[in-house]
Amino acid sequence: MLPSEIREKELQRGQTLPVGTRLCTVTSDGNLAMLKITKVERRATNDLPDYFTELTLWQQ
């Protein structure tokens, strides 16, 4: 289960949202959406990583 808040340092470590994480929600139109993290690229600096995702949407 994900915490309600994710701090910057946790994202920099790449532990909170690893590859394979799936996030599901219901859109404002009532459709189901699933976002899957497919790749995480960390930079040499302390910046936040780049997240690559795949979105699946099931429409009513």
pLDDT, one tens digit per residue, over 8-53 is 888 887 778 999 999 999 999 999 999 999 999 987 776 889 999 9
DSSP H helices in the chain: 8-13
Structure token digits, residue 60:
């009513």
Q: How far apart are CA 20 and CA 41, in angstroms?
A: 14
- At residue 35, the pLDDT reads 97
C-alpha dihedral sign at 47, 49, 50, 55: negative
**H/E stretch holding 16:** none
- Would you call 10 helix, strand, or coil by DSSP? helix
pLDDT, residue 42, reads: 85
Domain ranges of the chain: 8-58
